[in-house]
Chain A
């Protein structure tokens, strides 16, 4: 023990960091901030360290080459002892990191911690969020499978829409004319050197400011932040009711971080690593690319936005959001911190959370995507064919063969891009059905050129049978009225 102390003293005489570390550990924090609400930042840091370690370990085997990356992932999954577990830890770690960073941000926002004098801490935090998302996306690219390949294609398509410099930016991003070896090398450099380097620097700055400015005090309703008096009030609070960070507050950080790391490990152990999916071979087009969990909301938005709004929303939206986040502490730098007295702040968080949650949920089953195999995989349920004529059955056949099922469901099987057709005969008359099939409209292509008159007749005859028993199909009341007025004088 004495030897260790002596070595410690010998080193500290040279690096002279001991005093600073003791001061940081013992610095006083308001007693109420030793709370379970104040543990998300340190948990994010813990997961970040886990990502650094597992990332370095994966890099011992991973080959950042378009020709070999996929194979090296297979080697990690199947040949290297516990390679699958390291991949799973890194993959689940990334999901947890995005989630905890978002939680941390929500807590900081609702507790008013971005207000004076912690504006810059918040701004650095915004950049940390962007870098975390950048790590999540570039990490998905390094898992170089079909989803990664087409995911970069989506990124390139979005980038190309930037006016004037779009096409040049695409080549810069891809490192060449197509998604190939140079693209993967680029994303490897981003994911392994550039963004982690920036993250380490920004995390250090973020932490330094937390130490220098002190942790945000527990917001009390009615305790108003004012630039003129805040520093003195905070000082007074520390003197009256301050406790040293170690050990009063840190034990909760330690416990929560350990719980989170354990949860990452449990998920990794139970669910295993993510992919890789199919080989990144662009000639294998029988694929339906999906983004990773944290970009599903974006995938949903890109499907649901009207075509005319898409490019402006894609190009202007992120800029507006980032500027709003950066300017938030300057626009609302003073005033009430307690969330009970900030209804707009609470509603904003709820609105954003519900929107993102809804989009993510929708993207889970992607009703806007045609089901490419429904026409050959999901037969017309028997009950729709009972007591039908030969013509109607022929129509059911046309219905399958022309891939109508890829977008329209029958008996809740099939695509959801178009409306379910179980009761379509109640909604549209025969003439309307013919017109819709031949001319299309709404989101439906026109089938006029791809259906013979006989096929159209049979198809519409089948569609006319799609109504609940006991109901008559829709009919054109105006036409009936005309025919009855023409007929009536004869009576």
Chain B
């Protein structure tokens, strides 16, 4: 019967084996975790967002709100038609626009524009927004998400690339807005 304080050859070898496996597990865990979280880490560097043209300004008459589509700037081979994205473009005056995400600020369903009543209505839970995107009624806690835009050479370009959600509205990345908006 070996003493409790003595280390037997077999016991030491087993502990070494466990320790060695632990080391290997940690060595493997690092790349696995980095792989798993790659979608997050890539977004941290804001590499998903870029300026995307959505059409010449002549397509958007003054005083009207129209649907525009664009291809998401971040594309993977198997994405198919899911990278095609829609947005509502409101032309207030010659050089002044508002570009809204179609996603309702409540839970992301696509809102529809009704020019006659000047409202955006959501088909899911009945959220309604005024023509300037501000909240009119229903469950949304805020107005529609807005893409930052700029007009260059007669083209409207928006900063897009991420799905806007209540916890992560794209508007906060806009240049003319304070970072905490």
Cross-chain contact of A279 among B78, B81, B85, B121 (Cβ < 8 A): B81
CB-CB nearest in chain B for A415:
B126
CA distance A167 to B141 in the complex (A): 17
Give 1 or 0 for each of A165-190: 1 = CB within 8 Å of chain B CB. Answer: 01110111011111111111100000
A25 to chain B, nearest CB (A): 40
Question: Is residue A326 within 8 Å, beta carbon to beta carbon, of the partner chain?
Answer: no
Known: A285-B112, A447-B117, A449-B118. A369 touches B123 (CB 8 A): yes
Question: Is residue A8 within 8 Å, beta carbon to beta carbon, of the partner chain?
Answer: no
- Is the beta-carbon distance between B123 and A370 smaller than 8 angstroms? yes
Question: Is residue B92 within 8 Å, beta carbon to beta carbon, of the partner chain?
Answer: no
Where chain B touches its partner, the secondary structure class is loop
- Is the beta-carbon distance between B84 and A167 smaller than 8 angstroms? no
CA distance A68 to B81 in the complex (A): 10
How many residues on the A side are at the interface (Cβ–Cβ under 8 A)? 72
- Is the beta-carbon distance between B163 and A67 smaller than 8 angstroms? no
The B99-124 residues at the A interface (CB cut-off 8 A) are 102-103, 106-112, 114, 116-119, 121-124
- Is the beta-carbon distance between B117 and A450 smaller than 8 angstroms? yes
Question: Is residue B79 within 8 Å, beta carbon to beta carbon, of the partner chain?
Answer: yes
CB-CB nearest in chain B for A306:
B139
- Is the beta-carbon distance between B167 and A403 smaller than 8 angstroms? no
Known: A67-B79, A67-B80, A403-B119. A178 touches B163 (CB 8 A): yes
- Is the beta-carbon distance between B80 and A65 smaller than 8 angstroms? yes
Give 1 or 0 for each of A139-154: 1 = CB within 8 Å of chain B CB. Answer: 0000000000110011
- Is the beta-carbon distance between A182 and B83 smaller than 8 angstroms? no
The A392-408 residues at the B interface (CB cut-off 8 A) are 401-404, 406-407
Residues of B within 8 A of A162 (CB): 167
Residues of B within 8 A of A177 (CB): 39, 43, 48, 72, 74, 161-163
- Is the beta-carbon distance between A402 and B116 smaller than 8 angstroms? yes
Question: Is residue A283 within 8 Å, beta carbon to beta carbon, of the partner chain?
Answer: yes
Question: Is residue B64 within 8 Å, beta carbon to beta carbon, of the partner chain?
Answer: no
- Is the beta-carbon distance between B107 and A443 smaller than 8 angstroms? no
- Is the beta-carbon distance between A178 and B69 smaller than 8 angstroms? no
CA distance A178 to B80 in the complex (A): 13
- Is the beta-carbon distance between A370 and B82 smaller than 8 angstroms? no
Question: Is residue B128 within 8 Å, beta carbon to beta carbon, of the partner chain?
Answer: yes
Question: Is residue A15 within 8 Å, beta carbon to beta carbon, of the partner chain?
Answer: no
- Is the beta-carbon distance between A67 and B81 smaller than 8 angstroms? yes
Among A68, A159, A170, A171: residue with most chain B CB under 10 A:
A171
Known: A176-B76, A181-B80, A369-B124. A286 touches B112 (CB 8 A): yes
CA distance A260 to B138 in the complex (A): 42
Residues of B within 8 A of A289 (CB): 109, 123-124
CA distance A159 to B168 in the complex (A): 10
CB-CB nearest in chain B for A310:
B139
CA distance A446 to B118 in the complex (A): 10
- Is the beta-carbon distance between B80 and A369 smaller than 8 angstroms? no
CB-CB nearest in chain A for B87:
A283
Residues of A within 8 A of B40 (CB): 168, 171-172
Residues of B within 8 A of A370 (CB): 121-123, 126, 128
A134 to chain B, nearest CB (A): 18
- Is the beta-carbon distance between A170 and B117 smaller than 8 angstroms? no
A188 to chain B, nearest CB (A): 11
B-to-A contact residues, CB < 8 Å: 36-37, 39-40, 42-43, 48, 67, 69, 72, 74-86, 102-103, 106-112, 114, 116-119, 121-126, 128, 130-131, 136-141, 161-163, 165-168
In the A-B complex, the 10 residue pairs with the closest CB atoms = A67-B80, A160-B167, A445-B136, A181-B78, A160-B165, A167-B168, A153-B108, A285-B110, A166-B167, A288-B123
| Extra 18 A-B pairs, beta carbons < 8 Å, given A162-B167, A368-B126 | A66-B79, A68-B80, A150-B124, A157-B165, A160-B166, A167-B165, A177-B74, A178-B83, A178-B161, A178-B162, A181-B77, A182-B39, A279-B81, A288-B124, A302-B106, A303-B139, A440-B137, A443-B126
